[in-house]
Amino acid sequence: MDWIYRELTGVMLSEQVKVAADDVRIINSLTNPPPVPVTVRDIYVRRCRLAGDAVDAGFGRFRTGDLDLLLDMLQGAPALVGHRKDTLGVARFFGGGIERNEQTGVSYIVPKFYWMRLHSASEDLRVNIDGGIYNEASLGFTFRKPTCGICGEDIRRCEHVPGREYDGKRCFFYYDELIKVTEGSFVYRGAQQGTGFMLAHPASGGLTMDNLPRFKWKGIWYCGVPEKLIIKEV
């Protein structure tokens, strides 16, 4: 399997969101909808800015044309706490839209998420979100190809290194061939935003030091396959 897993941290939006009838309609129309349809009085709703088309701290970026697809993939995804995949979700993403910051020119996906008022921990979650204790949300997604912004090749294979400058242009890569959104999480503070990505490579038969794929893990660039890490000087 040749795919890449990535986590990016966005910010909660401070304004409270009044639940609208359209929110309820979208929630009850999700793939795998609530078995008991929710009503306006059943849920809390908030928003967050998860990802945009600017170059992030790990020198990756989404193509503007892929933001609609990313938002669509997010519909119905679970919201966890701290990426704890051994626990059940506490909320669920739905709806939202694409919003453009006119000052910076950056466009973002801004989904909504809801949780049930009658849950025993519902008020704790609401108070911590509205009080700014939980002020970041992290998006987990998978994609197949990190495309070099300079040469257009797979950046694991080309000669360019993300973050370096070439003829006055800083190298970055695109998140191409998006596969799915796995989950979103409420986090007290994201690990260094865009610190790296995890790769799953096919068997390494026939590879040499000259053509080993490169990947970044916890801020360090490596070449090789995950089972045999070789630090790559950059």
The pLDDT tens digits of the residues spanning 77-86 come to: 998 877 777 7
Measured in residues, the chain has a length of 234
- Count of structural domains within the chain: 1
* Percent of the chain topping pLDDT 70: 77
- Structure tokens, 115: 């949780």
DSSP structure class, residue 174: E
Predicted model pTM: 0.78
- Domain limits at 227? 3-231
98 with 71: CB under 8 angstroms? yes
pLDDT in tens, the chain (234 residues): 467 877 777 777 867 678 999 999 999 999 999 999 999 999 999 998 888 898 887 889 999 999 999 999 999 999 887 777 777 889 999 999 999 989 989 999 999 999 999 998 899 989 988 888 888 888 889 999 999 999 999 988 899 988 899 999 999 999 999 999 998 888 765 544 433 444 433 333 443 444 445 555 555 555 544 433 333 443
Q: What are phi and psi of 67, to 5 degrees?
A: -65, -40
Can you give the pLDDT at residue 222? 53
